[in-house]
Amino acid sequence: PAVVGSLRRLQVLGLSGCNLTGPIPRGAFAALGSLMALSLDRNRLDGPIPASLGALPHLGQLNLSQNRLAGEIALPVEFVARLGRRLDVRGNEELCVGQGRYGGLQASYLRAPPCVGRGSTNGTAALDEGAAGVYGPVVGLVCHLLVLLVLKL
């Protein structure tokens, strides 16, 4: 609701399990400069995660788990590093992490698969999910690769 945007001193916003649907609007929380924790988990939110969430200066916890969010996680690197494990995107089957975007440590605790084969000019990649476990259907990842050099499961 629009009234939430007028609560400029709001520090914690919990909208877990509220049956919210559709994409997270860009700039939806931009006026909430004091926001420290945002929980949007267990809804039916879809589409990409707006990069504008990374501009909230005091946000120290963001829970987007168990939704239908999709696409490459495009939050600023500094924001992801600052939140660390307090950024929860688990349970969004269509989310992925761009190759090398956040480094190995951040990518592993984001618990999202790599964006293998998406946007690659030649479709060549190595996929090694043996140690971390596979998140989501492997067939969908492999079908987008033109030349697969290594596949370790």
**Burial class of residue 112 (count of CB atoms within 10 Å of its CB; 0-12, 13-18, 19+):** buried
pLDDT higher than threshold 90 for residue 127: no
From residue 22, alpha-carbon distances to 31, 67, 69, 86, 91 in Å are: 21, 10, 9, 23, 16
Q: How many whole angstroms separate alpha carbon 58 and alpha carbon 121? A: 38
Q: Pinpoint the residues of the chain covered by CATH 3.80.10.10.
A: 2-115
**How far apart are the two ends of the chain, measured CA to CA in Å?**
45
* Confidence at residue 137, expressed as pLDDT on a 0 to 100 scale: 52
* CATH number, domain 2-115: 3.80.10.10
pLDDT higher than threshold 80 for residue 64: yes
Mean pLDDT of 86-114: 81
**Stated pTM of the model:** 0.73
Tokens linked to 146: 């033109």
* Confidence at residue 97, expressed as pLDDT on a 0 to 100 scale: 86
Q: Tell me the per-residue pLDDT of 104-125, one tens digit each, with 9 for 90 and over.
A: 655 667 778 888 755 443 444 4
Bridge partners, 21 (sequence order): 44
